[in-house]
Amino acid sequence: MNTQWMIKTQGDPLGTVREFTKAVWEAFDLDRMVVPTNGHAKDTGPHLIDDPDGLDNLNPFAPLMPINAAKLIPDLLKGDSPPQAGAMLRPCEMRTLIEMTKQNGFDTGNLLTMSVDCLGTLPMEEYQWRVERKGSPKGLTQEALQFSRQGGIVRYRYRSACQVCISPQATMADINIGILGLPVRQYALITIQGQPLAEALNLSAMAEDEIDAEMLEGHQRVTSRLVQRSENTRERIANGMAELLPENVAALIDQLESCGDCSTCLDVCPLCDIHYPQRAEDGSFRESEVMRWLISCSGCGICEQSCPQHLPLTIIFNHVQAQLAEEFAYEAGRPS
> According to the binding rule CB under 6 A, does residue 100 interact with ligand SF4?
no
> According to the binding rule CB under 6 A, does residue 298 interact with ligand SF4?
yes
Which of 206, 211, 311, 325 is close enough to bind ligand SF4 by CB under 6 A? Answer: 311
3-state SS record for the chain: CCCEEEEECCCCHHHHHHHHHHHHHHHCCCCEEEEEECCCCCCCEEEEECCHHHHHHECCCCCCCCCCHHHHHHHHCCCCCCCCEEEEECHHHHHHHHHHHHCCCCCCCCEEEEEECCCCCCCHHHHHHHHHHHCCHHHHHHHHHHCCCCCCCCHHHCCHHHHCCCCCCCCCCCEEEECCCCCCCCEEEEEECCHHHHHHHCHHHCCCCCCCHHHHHHHHHHHHHHHHHHHHHHHHHHHHCHHHCCCCHHHHHHHHHCCCCCCHHHHHCHHHHHCCCCECCCCCECHHHHHHHHCCCCCCCHHHHHCCCCCCHHHHHHHHHHHHHHHHCCCCCCCC
How many chain residues are in contact with ligand SF4, going by CB under 6 A? 36
> According to the binding rule CB under 6 A, does residue 91 interact with ligand SF4?
yes
**Residue window 110-139: x/- pattern of binding to ligand SF4, with contact defined by CB under 6 A:** --------x-xx------------------
> According to the binding rule CB under 6 A, does residue 263 interact with ligand SF4?
yes
> According to the binding rule CB under 6 A, does residue 90 interact with ligand SF4?
yes
Query: Looking at beta carbons only, is 86 or 120 nearer to ligand SF4?
Result: 120
> According to the binding rule CB under 6 A, does residue 252 interact with ligand SF4?
no
Which of 265, 295, 315, 324 is close enough to bind ligand SF4 by CB under 6 A? Answer: 265
* Smallest distance from ligand SF4 to CB 96, Å: 5
Binding site for ligand SF4 (CB under 6 A): 65, 68, 90-92, 96, 118, 120-121, 161-162, 165, 168, 256, 259, 262-265, 268-269, 271, 297-303, 307-309, 311, 313-314, 317
